[in-house]
Amino acid sequence: MVRVNRATHVPPTPAPQAGAALTEADLRQRAAEVLDANWERDHTVPSRALYPHQWSWDAAFIAVGLAHHAPERAWWDLRSLFAAQWADGRVPHIVFDPNVSERDYFPGPAFWDAPPVPGRLAGLTTGIVQPPVHAVAAWEVYRRATDRPAARAELTWLYPRLVRQQEYLFGARDVGGAGLASIVHPWESGLDNSPAWDRALAAVPADLSLLRRHRRQDTNVADSSHRPTDTDYARYIALAAAYRDSGYADAGLAQRHLFLVECPAFNAILGAAEHALADIAEVVGADPAPHRDRAEHITKALLDRLLDPATGMFHARDVRTGELTPARCVSGLLPLILPGLPEDRVAALLAEAGSGRFGYAGPPVPSYDRTAPDFDRLRYWRGPVWINVNWLLWRGLRTHGHAAAAGTLRTAMLDVIRRGGCYEYFDPIDGAGIGAAAFSWTAALALDLLAAD
């Protein structure tokens, strides 16, 4: 098991028994206890057992919830993450805790061999990124702040760093040349083993001998039938090693890297971040116009590049082949978060989200088409319900004025958490909790949902 700092660790409260739904007051208390138990000096870990470091997009979702419970810690989470930002603007997907042993998590710092970040110990980050939801989170924490001058100071510190993050993704990662960022690894999407990556990932040789040299740790803590297969994991390691061995250089990716995908969820979040940055710019005295222009540009690029009119939703594009994946995944619904999406596209996404393939009445929207022959209700992003993407969809519904649908989805999310506990993800059929218990972003977003007006 992972070693933890016993001075700061409080054992999480056990999850409720199956079928024993918590009241809203009980859920609020339980969620706060989870966040308190997972706090580690200057950041919150996703879970004590399986994820003992700081994860990038987790930190953003966690900050949204901490705004309702411990606002000063919300800013700490964002600050500690952006203190590890690379010189080129990328924000690494993991910031490693030097107090956690290398053998307790793989792939750890030694595998990634990242260059030093000023003010940090060398090699304590990964070299890949995750969806840039941080500007959205920063704006939400500011909106909830009671001490506005202090919150404005936090935004002033974060704003140039958030801008550099966006510039890196719009610049170095526009491999396709059409204004969308490409991911170089499935882990960058946050939707690690989604069926959206299957076709592109098939081009990566699956060298299972890598798993003899690099032993997985996740299956020591979690049920292997719930995790990515060894074949997929071998491909993940090969891709990460190839990017590392190139010195994490982005120049020439199209000629040498085997996995390059334009993800609709990643790019929709990239666009939503620009909308949030426009709001932040007005607070800190910067010009919001470039952010609004960039958000409009990325919305148009999504419509031009990733929309499939036949399905009414968005699909991942393999930059190497130019093909859209046929898989209908929750990532294809997330452009709903963009306020500039045309009304007919919003209507099509709403129809798909409410269809038998997804359905948001309860349990909430699954990560993959329920009717697909390879739908898997238990395996990670290949079927289960995740609260963070449902929270983004809920925001999208509210943005476009679909209050009734948003209310239905909010109720479904809170019901599954009340009955199952603050789990990492949930069975899309019976709502049972799966994966890590006492999971931080589930707890954090429960607090935000409970506070919604």
pLDDT digits (tens, 9 = 90+) for 164-192: 999 999 999 999 999 999 999 999 999 99
CA dihedral 95, 74, 91, 288 (to 10 degrees): -170
- The CATH number assigned to the domain holding 342 equals 1.50.10.10
Confidence tier at 362 by pLDDT (50, 70, 90): confident
Residue 175 lies in a domain: yes
pLDDT of residue 227: 72
pLDDT of residue 214: 65
User: Average pLDDT in the 50-75 region?
Assistant: 97
User: Average pLDDT in the 84-103 region?
Assistant: 93
User: Average pLDDT in the 251-279 region?
Assistant: 98
Confidence tier at 5 by pLDDT (50, 70, 90): very low
pLDDT of residue 426: 97
User: Average pLDDT in the 238-263 region?
Assistant: 97
pLDDT of residue 324: 98
* pLDDT tops 80 at residue 1: no
- Report yes or no: 447 and 31 within 8 Å, Cβ to Cβ: yes
- Report yes or no: 44 and 440 within 8 Å, Cβ to Cβ: yes
Residue 174 lies in a domain: yes
Residue 236 lies in a domain: yes
Residue 3 lies in a domain: no
Q: State the Cα–Cα distance between residues 347 and 349, nearest whole angstrom.
A: 6
* pLDDT tops 70 at residue 399: yes
Query: Structural domain tally of the chain?
Result: 1
* pLDDT tops 50 at residue 386: yes
Least confident among 27-36, 222-231, 344-353, 356-365: 222-231
Percent of the chain with pLDDT over 70: 92
* pLDDT tops 50 at residue 38: yes
What tens digit of pLDDT does each residue of 12-35 get? 444 444 445 789 999 999 999 999
Residue 140 lies in a domain: yes
Please give the structure tokens belonging to residue 408.
Answer: 């239905």
pLDDT of residue 78: 98
* pLDDT tops 70 at residue 296: yes
Please give the structure tokens belonging to residue 248.
Answer: 């994490």
pLDDT of residue 18: 45
Residue 19 lies in a domain: no
Q: Which of 77, 424, 427, 448 is catalytic?
A: 424
CA-CA-CA-CA torsion sign (225, 231, 232, 234): positive
Residue with tokens 């996740």, as numbered in its chain: 218
Non-local CB neighbours of 285 within 8 Å, separated by 6+ positions: none
* pLDDT tops 80 at residue 364: yes
Residues spanned by the domain of 307: 25-451
User: Which residue has better confidence, 404 or 10?
Assistant: 404
**Count of H helices and E strands in the chain?**
18, 10
Alpha helices in 38-88, H assignment, sequence order: 56-66, 71-82
With both helix axes pointing from N to C terminus, report the angle between 387-399 and 56-66 in degrees, rounded to the nearest 10. 60
pLDDT of residue 13: 42
At residue 417, φ and ψ (nearest 5 deg) are -75, -40
Q: State the Cα–Cα distance between residues 317 and 197, nearest whole angstrom.
A: 9
Residue 324 lies in a domain: yes
User: Which residue has better confidence, 221 or 367?
Assistant: 367
Residue 35 lies in a domain: yes
Alpha helices in 83-221, H assignment, sequence order: 109-112, 134-144, 148-171, 186-189, 198-201, 210-213, 218-221
Catalytic (active site) residue 192: yes
Confidence tier at 226 by pLDDT (50, 70, 90): confident
CA-CA-CA-CA torsion sign (163, 339, 263, 375): positive
What tens digit of pLDDT does each residue of 117-141 get? 877 665 699 999 999 999 999 999 9
pLDDT of residue 6: 30
Say how many residues make up the chain: 453
Q: Which of 58, 192, 232, 274 is catalytic?
A: 192
- Report yes or no: 62 and 32 within 8 Å, Cβ to Cβ: no
The strand pairing partners of 39, in sequence order, are: 44
Please give the structure tokens belonging to residue 368.
Answer: 């993959």
Confidence tier at 49 by pLDDT (50, 70, 90): confident
Using only C-alpha atoms, the chain has a radius of gyration, in whole angstroms, of 20
- The DSSP H or E segment spanning 384 is none
Percent of the chain with pLDDT over 90: 83
